[in-house]
Amino acid sequence: MPSFDIISQIDLQEADNAINQSRKEIEGRYDFKGSKSEVQWDKKEIIILGDDDYKMEAMKNILQTKFHKRGIDIKVLKFEKVEPAGGKMLRQKVLLQQGIDREVAKEILNNIKESKLKVQGQIMDDKIRVTSKSIDELQATMALIRGGSFAVPLQFDNMRS
Q: Report the percentage of the chain scoring pLDDT > 70.
A: 100
E-assigned strand segments in 30-116: 38-41, 45-50, 77-79, 83-86, 89-96
Whether residue 73 sits in one domain with residue 46? yes
One domain for residues 21 and 68? yes
Query: Each residue of 47-68: pLDDT tens digit?
Result: 999 988 898 999 999 999 999 9
Which 8-state DSSP code applies to residue 125? T
From the CB of residue 127, how many other CB atoms can be counted at a distance below 10 Å? 19
* Domain, as residue range, for 133: 3-8+99-160
Name the domain count of the chain. 2
The answer, yes or no, to whether residue 21 has pLDDT greater than 90, is yes
Q: Tens digits of per-residue pLDDT, 56-104? A: 999 999 999 999 999 998 988 999 999 988 888 899 999 988 888 888 8
Considering 40, 73, 96, which residue would you say is the last residue of a domain? 96
Query: Are residues 82 and 104 both part of a single domain?
Result: no
> For position 64, what pLDDT does the model report?
94
Residues 152 and 76 in one domain: no
Residue 119 in contact with residue 112, Cβ under 8 Å? yes
CA 161 to each of CA 3, 109, 119, 146: distance values in angstroms, whole numbers, following the listed order: 7, 21, 14, 20
**Residue 140 maps to which CATH number?**
3.30.70.860
* In a shared domain, residues 44 and 62: yes
Domain boundary among the residues 74, 96, 118 is at 96
Q: Between these two residues, 161 and 19, which has the higher pLDDT value? A: 19
Query: What does the mean pLDDT of the chain come to?
Result: 88
**Residues 58 and 122 grouped into a single domain:** no
